[in-house]
Amino acid sequence: MSIVTKRRSVRKFDLTKKIPDSILEELIMAGEEAPRARRQDSREYVIINKQEIINELAKIYKCTMIIEECNTMIGVIGKNPDDLPCPSFQPIDLACATENIMVEAVNKGIGSVMLGTYPDKERVEKANNILGINDGRFVFTFICLGYPIDEDCFYEMRQKPIINYNRG
Ligand SMILES: Cc1cc2nc3c(=O)[nH]c(=O)nc-3n(C[C@H](O)[C@H](O)[C@H](O)COP(=O)(O)O)c2cc1C
């Protein structure tokens, strides 16, 4: 099957290597190719490569304790829902973009893991504050990114979907 079967969450990165901005921008372009309700303009992205900001964000996710060892993140940001024609579908737009970014990362030999943020109000508020977002936009999720230490991290783990035909 295609590359989607090889996307696994990667939590250990080679911190001696930096992902070039041009590659990060390509990942974001992949995110923006994802479907969105009524082609609404619902998404933005932020590249975070300053360690002090990453360390601040790490405090939000202290239960996971992973991102202190990461030097690059992409934040998937929702535009102000009040400005959208289909605000109720916006979280799905954002989730689709997140997955596209992580799959394209595999394509480029980059590991990733997303950090659960939206719809946890407390996490969203803290993340917004750290990034200085206070105009109705909001942090949907962060994707931690890096070149993996373990080259075998993109292993296939075929899932067993429940498939019904013609009725649920
Ligand atoms: C909504 C959501 C939130 C997640 N939050 C976290 C997180 O905060 N920390 C983390 O290490 N992994 C997080 N993950 C990654 C999951 O743990 C991971 O996708 C799951 O264990 C399946 O493993 P795989 O991604 O390797 O297939 C999250 C995944 C999703 C979809």
Residue 162 within a domain: no
From ligand 1's centre to the CA of 113, what distance in Å? 6
Per-residue pLDDT, 65: 59
Rounded alpha-carbon distances, angstroms, from residue 106 to 12, 99, 154, 161 = 14, 11, 7, 22
Residue 158 within a domain: no
Per-residue pLDDT, 129: 98
Q: With a cut of 90, say whether residue 47 has pLDDT above it.
A: yes
Residue ID of nearest Cα to ligand 1 atom 21: 9
Q: What is the pLDDT of residues 153-164, one digit of tens each?
A: 888 887 889 999
Residue 49 within a domain: yes
Residue 139 within a domain: yes
CATH number at residue 93: 3.40.109.10
Per-residue pLDDT, 15: 94
Percent of the chain scoring above 90 in pLDDT: 85
Indicate the helix (H) or strand (E) that contains 144.
strand 138-146
**pLDDT (average), residues 113-139:** 97
Number of domains into which the chain is organized = 1
Per-residue pLDDT, 68: 62
Per-residue pLDDT, 64: 66
Beta-carbon contacts of 167 under 8 Å, excluding residues fewer than 6 positions away, are none
From ligand 1's centre to the CA of 73, what distance in Å? 15
Q: With a cut of 80, say whether residue 1 has pLDDT above it.
A: no
Residue 112 within a domain: yes
Per-residue pLDDT, 152: 87
pTM of the model: 0.95
pLDDT interval class at 67 (50, 70, 90): low
**pLDDT (average), residues 137-164:** 92
Can you give the residue range of the structural domain that contains 100?
10-148
Point out which residues pair with 111 in neighbouring strands: 146
Cα dihedral 76, 79, 80, 82, rounded to 10, equals: -120
Residue ID of nearest Cα to ligand 1 atom 19: 9
From ligand 1's centre to the CA of 1, what distance in Å? 22
Residue 160 within a domain: no
Q: What is the pLDDT of residues 99-124, one digit of tens each?
A: 999 999 999 999 999 999 999 999 99
